[in-house]
């Protein structure tokens, strides 16, 4: 923690499982980790409905941002560094990028993310490779086998 407040990293991932033909989506799940040198909050759960892998990724990000918001109720947060492997999601939520999205649901979710984090002095967004996002991915895939509640 710095003198200004906590510096957090939010990692998120969505996962879609496909049928034997590898074209028919059968299930989806999300995972996220909020960390400050070590994990503070981890969460995952399977989704009952989903539209696309991009929507699943957005839902993972929104869930992670809600976890950060819960921390903001009790701690001063100076930085949030959002990390995910979905380029379309990162490009859409990052206000420094000129990504335009035609999907109203994705646009509303991006606005929700930015609005929720608006009080944080510094928010950064970065696309990372899957191996850099391993724990969030692991949580998302574990959710297929169990219903995961956030662990604090």
Q: Which pLDDT score, from 0 to 100, does residue 45 have?
A: 93
Banded model confidence at residue 18, pLDDT cuts 50, 70, 90: confident
Pick the range with the lowest mean pLDDT from 42-51, 60-69, 96-105.
96-105
Mean pLDDT of 96-113: 82
Q: What is the mean pLDDT of residues 36-57?
A: 90
CATH number at residue 28: 3.30.420.10
Say whether pLDDT at 149 is over 50: no
**Residue 55 within a domain:** yes
> Can you give the pLDDT at residue 17?
87
Evaluate whether residue 150 is within a structural domain: no
- The three-state secondary structure class of 126 is strand
Q: Is residue 93 part of a domain?
A: yes
User: Is residue 151 in some structural domain?
Assistant: no
**Average pLDDT for the chain:** 88
What is the per-residue pLDDT for 144? 84
Q: Assess contact for 32 and 63: CB atoms under 8 A.
A: yes
Residue 38 near residue 141 (C-beta atoms within 8 A) = no
Predicted local confidence at residue 103, as pLDDT: 78
Residue 148 has pLDDT above 50, yes or no: no
* In a domain? residue 58: yes
* Residues 114, 136: Cα–Cα separation, whole Å: 20
- The mean pLDDT of 20-40, rounded to a whole number, is 89
- Domain span at residue 42? 6-142
């Amino acid at each position: 923690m710095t003198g200004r407040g906590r510096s957090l990293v939010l990692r998120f991932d969505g996962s879609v499982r496909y049928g034997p033909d590898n074209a028919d989506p059968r299930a989806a799940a999300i995972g996220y980790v909020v960390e400050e040198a070590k994990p503070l909050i981890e969460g995952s759960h399977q989704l009952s409905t989903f539209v696309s892998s991009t929507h699943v990724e957005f839902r993972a990000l929104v869930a992670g941002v809600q976890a950060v918001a819960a921390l903001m109720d009790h701690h001063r947060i100076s930085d949030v560094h959002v990390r995910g492997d979905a380029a379309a999601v990162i490009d859409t939520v990052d206000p420094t990028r000129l990504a335009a999205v035609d999907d109203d649901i994705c646009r509303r979710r991006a606005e929700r993310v930015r609005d929720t984090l608006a009080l944080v002095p510094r928010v950064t967004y970065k696309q990372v490779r899957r191996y850099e996002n391993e724990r969030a991915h692991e949580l998302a895939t574990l959710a297929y086998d169990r219903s995961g509640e956030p662990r604090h």
